[in-house]
Structure 1
Amino acid sequence: MFDFGLAGYQPCWLRGRNQLASRHGPRLQALAGRRLTRTWVVWDETADAWLADCPVVLDFDGERLEVNHQQRDLVSLTWNSIDLRQTPRWSVADQERKLGWRGDAPEAVAAAHGQQVAAVALLEWTGEDEARGSVAVGLRLASGWLTVYNALDENGLAFGPLDPAYQPPSPGLLRRSRPGPAGAAAGESAGRERRRTCLASSGAAWMWNRRPSSPT
């Protein structure tokens, strides 16, 4: 398992939104309502370019989500495991490449820092291309969607309107989820703070919305 020379980072590769939601759903749900305070990518200082093979780190008021994609449909989500004081390494053989973390790139993503997360979604790509079936992590912010997606064996970042190939859920297709017996207590506790919704048909997204404030 390649960890980019980052002690403590152990990517766990999953495939499909059901595996991701089963393993990470409650923690993704808990991000709704938080602020996206910072993001970091690995920068190749030698080439002056983003090294998209390395994990993308997103910070939400101290809760850090680490996203990485590989092959055509694998994605790893990890939490609070990367020490950003460590210098990433691409390979033992490649000693000339100088890498470091940047929190101000890409500019469109950095411009979203400080915005509140209105919804978190696991979005399945339905386009007629090689990426079909891959799953992206989407954050709905005030100024648009931030999407960390599979760019065919590396990460891609998009900011703005959601690509229609993701088929975002519409209000008419959403229903409240019901936690099973094992997760009932956790689901009831989380439900007091946020509403979890998922696509009721066999469509392509799981989405958790921030619960609207109660009228006073």
Structure 2
Amino acid sequence: MGISGFEPTFLVGLEAVREKHRTRLAKLGGRRLTGFALVRFVEDGEWFADCPVVLDFDGVQVDLCHWKLDELSIGWNTIDTTAVITDWEWAEFTPAWSSVDERLEPFVGRELREVCLLEWRPSGLDLADGTIAVEFTFDACRFRICNGLDENTIEVGDTHPDFVRHRLG
């Protein structure tokens, strides 16, 4: 993707993600969200949801990226969001890091209370069954970075009842 420092390690399933990242995710509690970065296209401002979502909690940077139908990579303090994105394969679009997003902006400056892993477990057949989302809970609000079936999605507010919450602490 031409993103400086982005070297994803994709994991599949709750246990793999929990085993690798439980401690570091849990330690984010008590920190303030001080910034975020998403990749948007310069031409139209559209979010390119295939690229990682980068969150900064008082200097601890976590990047989250969903890929394929069930893979999640979580990285720590590796992506340089000040660097120009290079080696881009779609010549008609110009990607750039942006700190503009109406869903995430209201959370900046707030203290994080808890991070949970969410596992999608619907009652019926569902292609997304077993996918993992990461939920960030603040005082009276929350957002999730979810698998949008081969890309990231950002959801704000109440958690869908088909998610099973797994606390990390």
Name the counterpart of 1:32: 29
What is the rounded CA distance, in whole Å, between the counterparts of 2:87 and 2:110 in structure 1? 32
Name the counterpart of 1:177: none
Q: 1:119 aligns with which of 102, 114, 117?
A: 114
Structure 2: stretches of 5+ with no match in the other structure: none
Aligned pair 1:96/2:92, yes or no?
yes
What is the rounded CA distance, in whole Å, between the counterparts of 2:84 and 2:51 in structure 1? 12
Q: 2:46 aligns with which of 38, 46, 49?
A: 49
What is the rounded CA distance, in whole Å, between the counterparts of 2:167 and 2:138 in structure 1? 17
Partner letter of residue 168 of structure 2?
A: M
Q: Which has the higher helix share?
A: 1
Q: CA deviation at 1:90?
A: 7.2
Q: CA deviation at 1:141?
A: 1.0
Structure ranking higher on relative contact order (CA contacts 8 Å, 6+ apart): 2
- The ranges of structure 1 where at least 4 consecutive aligned residues each deviate by more than 2 angstroms after the TM superposition are 87-92
TM-score, scaled relative to structure 1: 0.73
Name the counterpart of 1:138: 135
Q: How many residues align?
A: 167
Map 1:54-203 to 2 at 5 A. 54-89=51-86, 91-92=88-89, 94-105=90-101, 107-127=102-122, 128=124, 129-168=126-165
Partner letter of residue 46 of structure 1?
A: E
The Cα offsets for residues 7-41 of structure 1, whole Å up to 9 and x where unpaired, read as: 32210000112111111111111101111111111
Q: Sequence identity of aligned pairs in percent?
A: 33
RMSD value over aligned CA atoms?
1.4
Larger Rg belongs to: 1
Contact persistence 1:39–1:57 (CA under 8 A): yes
